[in-house]
């Protein structure tokens, strides 16, 4: 009886430890260098089903934000920036890919494409600012319970990140409550 | 009790001493070639490597081999072989019993200054670390030798650490890395709470572009003053043509030649052009490009830093450890904000 009792205690201790560790690994964090005024012109980027997108956008609109319609899923398209002609030429003509110079060339092509991709995104953001008169981009990723939802705000005037938050989604959270939570912190309400 | 204490102290001393011995790297030196066009400086061809070797041995505990002790550097006419290329390094160092081979060039400049170009080759690899230093010949020659020996001692280590500048506080950073979403936020958090401004580079996307394998393509990196690069040799690329080749074929190999020129042999120019645009892509220019590569277990990372203002490679360090992304990031920030230390 005593050994069973000890065993139970050990099992409970292990389970509690696992629970504490799993909880502590999903810590929230927040950093804000500016508070957005409620009438700021924002574009919200979120990769979700349309009904969830709408729920998020409506929550921002209700708080007074001037939300611009930006379709997140095709904001940055890789086909526009990945010029693969160099890769194609090399793969047609070089058979020995163990040659150091060829490997170096492949690596450098990849690096240039990353730089080009970032350049193109920056150009897109500039367009969003100048043509659509957007002041801030709000990126949201909403996750279910036991995962971490996160938000990021980019100031399109300075092209700097003004706000970040990781928020461990609670058991009773939904799209509305998570969005409300982020808006509260972004606007400093 | 007293005996036990002495025992512990002695054991620790033995451990530390054996540990030091086990970590002693060995370095072989080639000659430093005079590129000044002035024979009056020829005496430095031997003096410079011998000075670096002496400092590395005495101050940094390296085992050293001087140029005259390397048979493959001596020609049949008993003169010294100086005209080897990076592509010859593997063969040249085959019978040299050292972990690293160091060689270079120097050039006298105005106002009694000297430009030194140093190459550090880890035996058996396909990579070379190249860096340049400028100093005064007479007044500060010892300081210059000490600086270069310190750089070599850090590069000739597992972490391949190179530093010639620290990032300034409150500066604006463009970060490229292989983490995304909430993890990227935790990385940003560590920089932001230390007062750095972060460009929206990469952070303007919900998903990351670079995965754990792709980030390693940035492991080798070049700046105008230094580079950690793969050895490349134009001889490897044979683009044969002759009277038998037609116009179309000639056009095709010319195109290929241009690709190799742009992306391998003159890559630094190609990259500098794009980095200029990259830097100016925001409305407020970034000061530094920082590339951080995490391993798949997120327990180890490497960092590379380029100063956007002059396209200089200013920091490289690998093997930065931590138990989490925030801890590793804190250590990356320490690496970016502190100077070189004597690793021995």
What does the pLDDT look like over B72-99, one tens digit per residue? 777 666 666 667 788 888 888 888 899 9
A98 pLDDT above the threshold of 50? no
At residue B14 the predicted structure's pLDDT band, cuts being 50, 70 and 90, is very low
Question: Do the strands B226-230 and B288-294 form a parallel or antiparallel pair, or are they unpaired?
Answer: unpaired
- The mean pLDDT value of chain B amounts to 85
Of B53, B21, B48, B19, nearest to B36 by C-alpha is B48
Residues on chain B touching A86 (C-beta within 8 angstroms): 259, 263
Q: Which of A111, A121, A122 sits opposite B217 (nearest CB)?
A: A111
Return the pLDDT at A2: 56
Return the pLDDT at B266: 77
Distances (CA, A) of B308 to B114, B280, B288, B312: 25, 10, 5, 7
- The Cα–Cα gap between A28 and A24 comes to 9
Of B104, B221, B340, nearest to A107 by C-alpha is B221
Residues on chain B touching A138 (C-beta within 8 angstroms): none
Return the pLDDT at A14: 62
At residue B6 the predicted structure's pLDDT band, cuts being 50, 70 and 90, is very low
Question: Searching chain B, which residue's CA lies closest to the CA of residue A165?
Answer: B185
B290 pLDDT above the threshold of 90? yes
User: What is the pLDDT averaged over residues B109-119?
Assistant: 93
The answer to whether the CB atoms of B188 and A76 lie below 8 A apart is: no
Higher pLDDT, B303 or B279: B303
Report the share of chain A in percent with pLDDT over 90: 36
- The Cα–Cα gap between A16 and A11 comes to 8
Residues 6 or more apart whose Cβ sits within 8 Å of residue B333: B190, B191, B194
Burial A8-44 (b: 16+ CB within 10 A, else e): eeeeeeeeeeeeeeeeeeeeebebbeeebeeebbbbb
Q: Does the reported pTM lie above 0.90?
A: no
At residue A92 the predicted structure's pLDDT band, cuts being 50, 70 and 90, is very low
- The Cα–Cα gap between B150 and A178 comes to 52
Terminal CA-to-CA distance of chain B, rounded, Å?
A: 33
B119 pLDDT above the threshold of 80? yes
Residues on chain B touching A161 (C-beta within 8 angstroms): 188, 192, 198-200, 203
Question: Searching chain B, which residue's CA lies closest to the CA of residue A30?
Answer: B189
Residues on chain B touching A116 (C-beta within 8 angstroms): 274
DSSP secondary-structure letter at A147?
S
Kindly report the backbone phi and psi dihedral angles of residue B124, in degrees, each rounded to the nearest multiple of 5, phi listed first. Answer: 85, -5
């Amino acid at each position: 009886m005593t050994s069973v009792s000890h065993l139970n205690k050990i099992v409970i201790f292990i389970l509690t430890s696992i629970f504490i560790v799993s909880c502590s690994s999903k810590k929230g964090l927040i950093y804000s260098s500016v508070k957005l005024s409620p009438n700021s012109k924002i574009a919200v980027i979120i990769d979700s089903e349309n009904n969830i997108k709408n729920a998020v956008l409506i929550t921002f609109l209700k708080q007074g934000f001037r939300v611009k319609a930006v379709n997140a899923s095709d904001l940055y398209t890789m086909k526009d920036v990945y010029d693969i002609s160099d890769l194609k030429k090399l793969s047609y003509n070089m058979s020995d890919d163990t040659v150091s110079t060829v490997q170096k060339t492949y690596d450098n092509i990849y690096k240039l494409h990353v730089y080009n991709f970032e350049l193109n995104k920056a150009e897109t953001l500039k367009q969003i600012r100048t043509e659509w008169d957007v002041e801030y981009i709000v990126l949201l990723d909403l996750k279910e319970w036991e995962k971490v939802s996160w938000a990021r705000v980019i100031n399109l005037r300075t092209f700097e990140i003004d706000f970040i938050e990781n928020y461990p989604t609670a058991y009773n959270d939904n799209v509305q409550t998570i969005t409300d939570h982020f808006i509260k912190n972004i606007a400093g309400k | 009790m007293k005996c036990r204490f002495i025992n512990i102290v002695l054991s620790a001393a033995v451990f530390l001493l054996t540990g030091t011995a086990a970590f002693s790297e060995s370095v072989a030196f080639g000659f430093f070639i005079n590129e000044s066009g002035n024979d009056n400086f020829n005496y430095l061809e031997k003096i410079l490597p011998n000075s670096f070797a002496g400092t590395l041995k005495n101050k940094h505990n390296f085992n050293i081999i001087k140029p005259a002790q390397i048979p493959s550097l001596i020609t049949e006419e008993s003169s010294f072989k100086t005209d080897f290329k990076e592509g010859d390094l593997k063969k040249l160092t085959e019978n040299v019993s050292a972990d690293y081979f160091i060689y270079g060039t120097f050039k006298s400049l105005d106002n009694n200054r000297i430009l030194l170009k140093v190459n550090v080759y880890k035996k058996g690899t396909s990579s070379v670390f190249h860096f340049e230093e400028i100093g005064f010949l007479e007044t500060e020659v010892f300081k210059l030798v000490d600086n270069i020996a310190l750089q070599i001692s850090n590069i000739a280590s597992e972490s391949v650490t190179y530093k010639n500048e620290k990032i300034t506080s409150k500066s604006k950073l463009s970060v490229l890395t292989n983490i995304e979403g909430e993890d990227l936020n935790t990385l940003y958090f560590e920089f932001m709470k230390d007062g750095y401004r972060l460009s929206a580079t990469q952070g303007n996307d919900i998903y990351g572009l670079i995965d754990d394998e792709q980030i390693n393509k940035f492991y080798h990196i070049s700046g105008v003053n230094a580079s950690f690069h793969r050895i490349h040799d134009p001889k490897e690329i044979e683009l044969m043509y002759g009277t038998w080749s037609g116009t179309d074929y000639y056009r095709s190999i010319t195109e290929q030649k241009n690709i190799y020129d742009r992306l391998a042999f003159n890559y630094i120019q190609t990259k500098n052009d794009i980095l200029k645009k990259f830097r100016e892509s925001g409305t407020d220019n970034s000061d530094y490009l920082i590339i951080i590569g995490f391993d798949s277990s997120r327990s180890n990372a490497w960092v590379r830093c380029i100063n956007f203002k002059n396209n200089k490679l200013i920091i490289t360090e690998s093997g930065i450890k931590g138990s989490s992304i925030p801890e590793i990031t804190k250590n990356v920030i320490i690496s970016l904000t502190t100077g070189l230390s004597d690793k021995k």
